[in-house]
Amino acid sequence: MDSIKISLRKKWEPIEPFERALTKPQNKKKLGLGEEEYDVCEQFVHIVDYNGTPPKFVRLTLDEIQELKKDKVAFKNSETKFRTCFLWIIDENEKLKIARENIRNEKRFRDPKYICHTNLSGAKKAYIGGEMFFGEDNNIYINFYSDRYGGQHTPIDLWYDTKELFKQLGFINIIDFEDI
């Protein structure tokens, strides 16, 4: 691994949850019950030093990868997505944290079947967040679709820097959802 690691801190500031959700109504920018607690997912979080798979690891099958490539919009609400999705954030300390979304969160009032990005951050600031899927084709499919730390108002240069950080952390075979 190169000794020169990209640092988001040099160019970017971490943001509060929903700070980039400019079109989201203000009343929907409040965290719900159970969406702040890190302890609900802590045992399942992979804090990335270099590569590696997170706990509760699951892969997209080759058929499911074709499903994703065929229709990203339909995939977003599919059973496959909810079964195979991992959430990721780069927290305010520049640590990449990954955990399976499909972790039961009994403290969460809305949708207790899943954790959310603010569970990964403990509702603190983060640079960016999104989703990732590990494929049987040895590719990792990533996006910045977190409404709490990513979304459509994410600066494109931050996204490029983030993908470089993923690569420097050993995730070489990444495919951006936007390139599918």
- Domain residue spans in the chain? 8-179
174 touches 144 (CB < 8 A): no
Determine which helix (DSSP H) or strand (DSSP E) holds 132, and give its type and residue range.
strand 126-135
Q: What is the pLDDT of residue 4?
A: 58
Structure tokens belonging to residue 75: 């995939």
What's the mean per-residue pLDDT of the chain?
A: 94
Q: Over the stretch 160-176, which tens digit does the pLDDT of each residue have?
A: 999 999 999 999 999 99
Nearest partner of 153 among 15, 32, 9, 8, judged by Cα: 15
> Average pLDDT of 25-52?
94
Q: Output the CA–CA distances (angstroms, integers) from residue 35 to 38, 127, 168, 169, 180, in the order listed.
A: 8, 18, 30, 27, 31
Q: Check whether 3 has a pLDDT greater than 80.
A: no
Please, what is the Cα angle at 133 between 176 and 98, to 5 degrees? 100
Strand-pair category, 86-91 with 126-135: antiparallel
Q: Per-residue pLDDT averaged across 14-21, rounded?
A: 97
CA atoms within 13 A on the CB side of 71: 6
Vertex 92 angle, CA 112 and 31, to 5°: 30
- Res 15 pLDDT > 80: yes
